[in-house]
Amino acid sequence: MRIAITGATGTLGSALTRALLQRGESVVILSRTPSVLRRLDGLPVTAYAYDAAGIAAALAAGPLDALVHAACSYGRAGESAADLLDANALTPLRLALAAGTRVGRWLSIGTALPRSVSPYALSKAQFADWLEALPAGTVPPRDILLLEHFYGPGDDPGKFLTRVARACIAGEPLELTAGTQERDFIHLDDVVAAILAVLDRPQSGCRSIAVGSGTAVTIRTVVESLNRLAGGRSQLRFGAVPMRANEPARCVADTTTLRRLGWAPAVSLESGLAALIASEQSLRTPL
């Protein structure tokens, strides 16, 4: 297959790109900066601009069997609400309309977070609403993957588990909420496997698929595990930070649809957290 990916320079997008190339697929990248392919150096990919002209150029070079939309903005760099709306809803909507039915399938990586939690979650949900509402004659079959909290080696330092892992390795104190929130943590490798499972099972219309491990644990349990795996030197100050507004008490994926596609999580939480600590420790070790 020839597959286009947005967000391919990110953690998830780059891991998916490598997995597709290993399977022998042809990969096209739609990037805001096509000349700077972070995490993709040396890979046999073709890059185009992440806009309507870019997708038109990619289609002119040959048919696209699928487009996996993994690009997003979390809002961690002080982006305004308008910036998040443009990055997470308007830009991909323009891309979807420009591609139309000339793309065989559309897979959109969304979030399972309730839209009331943050502007990021709201803007991702708004794009999912538009993608679902577009008439079948204007866009191809669509899968909206509602992703729980994914983690893994090489993840962005702004992600929660990466920040906690680095602080625990350094023995720094951590100020946290009470940590009673239950969350579904899924390893990066399992997310990539889920996306491939969806790609391998075409469908018509539009469907939403929950992507997670199917098991929820408390934030406190995960943080304590990371600290233990890092040597147990950090002081964990649970309750020092208030819960954010509209924080859900429990988030967990119903993996029924994914399991029907033949998928099951392969990385346990304990082994995944250990690998995260080992990866972050290696970054601190001088060569």
The domain limits of the chain are 1-147
pLDDT, mean over the chain: 93
Which pLDDT value is given to residue 39? 79
pLDDT above 70 for 285: no
This prediction has a pTM of 0.94
Q: How many CA atoms lie within 13 A of 243 on its CB side?
A: 12
H-assigned helices in 67-152: 81-85, 91-99, 119-133
CATH of 1-147, one of 3.40.50.720, 3.40.1190.20, 3.30.420.40, 3.90.1490.10: 3.40.50.720
pLDDT per residue as tens digits for the range 136-150: 889 999 999 999 999
As a whole number of angstroms, the distance between CA 177 and CA 223 comes to: 11
Quote the pLDDT of residue 26: 96
**Would you state the pLDDT for residue 36?**
72
Distances (CA, A) of 205 to 133, 137, 143: 11, 10, 8
What is the C-alpha end-to-end distance of the chain, expressed in Å? 40
SS3 content of the chain, % helix, strand, coil (to 5): 40, 20, 40
Section 168-185 average pLDDT: 97
Q: Is the pLDDT of residue 9 over 50?
A: yes
Choose among 274, 147, 129: nearest CA to 198: 147
Count CA atoms closer than 13 A to 49's CA, side-chain side. 7
Q: Residue written as tokens 């709306």?
A: 85
Instruction: Provide, rounded to the nearest whole percent, the portion of the chain with pLDDT above 90.
Output: 84
The token pair at 245 is 């507004």
pLDDT above 90: residue 15: yes
CA distance readout (Å), 257 to 97, 104, 272: 27, 21, 23
pLDDT of residue 287: 42
Number of Cβ within a 10 Å radius of residue 137: 7
- Cβ density class 219-249: b for 16+ within 10 Å, e for less: bbebbbbbbebbeeebebebeeeeeeeebee
